[in-house]
DNA sequence: TTATTTTCTAAGCAAACGCTTAGTTATTGA
DNA sequence: TCAATAACTAAGCGTTTGCTTAGAAAATAA
């Protein structure tokens, strides 16, 4: 009964996500989105409602994307070694053409803190919760550790992961490798 | 021979720094600075040249301010325990009226990454370098550790510190205490 | 073909951005 | 007392911000 969209919403969203990932929320303007997504502002607003709307969907897409490496972690059966691999996988995942972008969720926490949209914050909390549980499963392979130690170490790994995502933006690969190796020397 | 400034540059800079600390660089407008610093835009520009100029001076002031707690660390003589105290001191230092602002330097890395001003980046690198050295001195109290282990653990503590400064923005105190205690359980 | 419905282009909205400037006010040395 | 100098106020510069809208173009059902 009417005209069809000339673009695919998932495709243009993917481009928007990468833009937010590189620049953060405030440093990404609707003109930049327009250019990167390859569609007019009208189309952006008719598909996503607002800039905030594009961002929320970008966060959700990011979580889908990063499943690519959390699945590898969950499927691994070499205990703590699998977690270490996850750290390295994240570095690959968060870098394109030698440009480390950190973690979109961590970047967002840093930019918006508690002032962020409620939906966005709960997306972040739920991701961290799931990641911690994945770490816990792998740590549990070591039967000598009791539950409290396991819980603490899982928390510790989550912060280390967040810290890595931040420092990866300004430190070279050799330094980052040292960081990662040390974390797992101590476990 | 002429009129005197009605404001103290260090005083107004302190207010500017707190604004940048809370909001980041881009999310702090010159109008906000005007309001917070209590002086007109003309005065801001005559004293600091540009918004970037105010920011660079804010970074330098921040480094001076945080000496307050790095000095406590450097003067401590209880080894690793002193580093742990530094982590707790940082939480106090970075929170006012129950509002955790993270670390201005870490926030800046996250916002600007490698795209930041050269002067700003070198200020950040030099701080991290100094902090690592402080950690190293305290870790060295344990004579059973060799040099490579010490270096690795110092690197590790720096990332943990950065990670803490980020997660402190969205997690409650109990969770943060667990994080800190775990870091030092493992050393 | 034609009426209907939706998507598109491109122009434009008010507000906020970093920064400047014209003009007034205060403080000084002579 | 008064010219000289610097610090102030407040208006305004051009640009960019997030978002809207009028009208043309395309796709369908009748």
Q: How far apart are CA B158 and CA B163, in angstroms?
A: 9
The Å distance, CA of A47 to C1' of C6, is 13
CA distances from A34 to A29, A51, A171 (A): 9, 11, 32
The reported pLDDT for the residue numbered A57 is: 98
Q: Are B151 and B135 in contact (CB under 8 A)?
A: no
Say yes or no to pLDDT of A186 above 80.
no
Q: Are A108 and A120 in contact (CB under 8 A)?
A: yes
pLDDT above 70 covers a percentage of chain A that reads 99
Topology (CATH) of A9-185: Tetracycline Repressor; domain 2 (1.10.357)
Q: Quick one: DSSP state of residue B3?
A: P
Q: Which residue in chain A has the smallest CA separation from B128?
A: A167
Partner-chain residue, chosen from B114, B170, B187, that has the shortest CB–CB distance to A109: B170
The number of residues making up chain B comes to: 187
The Å distance, CA of B10 to C1' of C27, is 22
B17 vs B115, higher pLDDT: B17
Partner-chain residue, chosen from A156, A166, A179, that has the shortest CB–CB distance to B166: A166
In this prediction, residues A64-87 reach a mean pLDDT of 97
Q: What is the pLDDT of residues B167-182, one digit of tens each?
A: 999 888 988 988 898 8
Q: How far apart are CA B72 and CA A89, in angstroms?
A: 38
Find, among B164, B157, B161, the residue nearest to B140 by Cα: B157
Tokens representing residue A89 in the block? 């996988």
Positions of chain D reached by protein Cβ under 7 A? 4-12, 16-22, 25-29
The reported pLDDT for the residue numbered B21 is: 97
Say yes or no to pLDDT of A172 above 90.
no
Q: How far apart are CA A156 and CA A39, in angstroms?
A: 43
Q: How far apart are CA A150 and CA B186, in angstroms?
A: 12
Q: Chain B interface residues facing chain A, Cβ-Cβ under 8 Å?
A: 24, 26-27, 100-102, 106-107, 109-111, 113-114, 121, 124-125, 149, 151-153, 155-156, 158-164, 166-167, 169-170, 175, 178-179, 181-183, 185-187
Which pTM value belongs to this model?
0.93
Q: What is the pLDDT of residues A2-59, one digit of tens each?
A: 788 889 999 999 999 999 999 999 999 999 999 999 999 999 999 999 999 999 999 9
CB–CB contact A167 B186 (8 Å): no
pLDDT above 70 covers a percentage of chain B that reads 99
Tokens representing residue B30 in the block? 């010159």
In this prediction, residues A145-161 reach a mean pLDDT of 90
Q: What is the pLDDT of residues A130-150, one digit of tens each?
A: 999 999 999 999 999 999 889
Distance from CA of A69 to the nearest CA of B (A): 21
> In this structure, is the dihedral angle defined by the CA atoms of residues B78, B104, A177 and A152, taken in order, positive or negative?
positive
The reported pLDDT for the residue numbered A174 is: 85
Q: How far apart are CA B23 and CA A165, in angstroms?
A: 20
The reported pLDDT for the residue numbered B94 is: 97
Which of B90, B110, B135 is the best residue to mutate to test the A interface, defined by the most A CB atoms within 10 Å of its own CB?
B110
Partner-chain residue, chosen from B110, B121, B155, that has the shortest CB–CB distance to A110: B110
The reported pLDDT for the residue numbered A179 is: 86
The Å distance, CA of A50 to C1' of D18, is 8
Find, among A37, A56, A54, A36, the residue nearest to A45 by Cα: A54
Bridge partners of residue A96, in order along the sequence: A99
Mean per-residue pLDDT over chain A, rounded: 93
Name which of A55-69, A144-158, B66-80, B130-144 the model is least confident about.
A144-158
Find, among B63, B24, B41, the residue nearest to B169 by Cα: B24
The Å distance, CA of A54 to C1' of C7, is 19
Is the CB atom of residue B8 positioned under 7 angstroms from any atom of strand D? no
Q: Which residues of B touch A187 (CB under 8 A)?
A: 186
Greatest alpha-carbon span in chain A: 67
B90 vs A116, higher pLDDT: B90
B95-96 and B99-100 strand pairing: antiparallel
pLDDT band, very low/low/confident/very high, at B186 (cuts 50, 70, 90): confident
The reported pLDDT for the residue numbered A138 is: 97
Partner-chain residue, chosen from A164, A166, A182, that has the shortest CB–CB distance to B106: A166
Q: Which residues contact A176 (CB under 8 A, 6 or more apart)?
A: A91, A164, A167, A168
The residue ranges of every structural domain in chain A are 9-185
Q: What is the pLDDT of residues B99-153, one digit of tens each?
A: 999 999 999 999 998 888 899 999 999 999 999 999 999 999 999 999 988 988 8
């Amino acid at each position: 009964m009417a005209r069809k969209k000339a673009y695919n919403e998932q495709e243009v969203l993917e481009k928007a996500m990468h833009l937010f990932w590189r620049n953060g929320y405030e440093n990404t303007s609707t003109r930049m989105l327009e250019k990167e997504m390859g569609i007019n502002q009208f189309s952006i607003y008719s598909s996503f409602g607002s800039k905030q709307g594009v961002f929320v969907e970008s966060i959700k897409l990011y979580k889908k994307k990063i499943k690519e490496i959390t699945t590898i972690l969950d499927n691994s059966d070499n205990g703590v070694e699998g977690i270490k691999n996850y750290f390295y996988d994240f570095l690959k995942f968060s870098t394109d053409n030698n440009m480390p972008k950190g973690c979109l969720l961590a970047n967002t926490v840093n930019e918006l803190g508690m002032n962020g949209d409620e939906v966005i914050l709960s997306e972040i909390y739920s991701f961290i919760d799931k990641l911690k549980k994945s770490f816990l499963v792998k740590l549990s392979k070591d039967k000598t550790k009791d539950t409290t130690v396991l819980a603490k170490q899982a928390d510790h790994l989550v912060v280390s992961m967040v810290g890595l995502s931040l420092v990866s933006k300004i430190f070279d690969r050799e330094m980052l490798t040292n960081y990662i190796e040390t974390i797992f020397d101590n476990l």
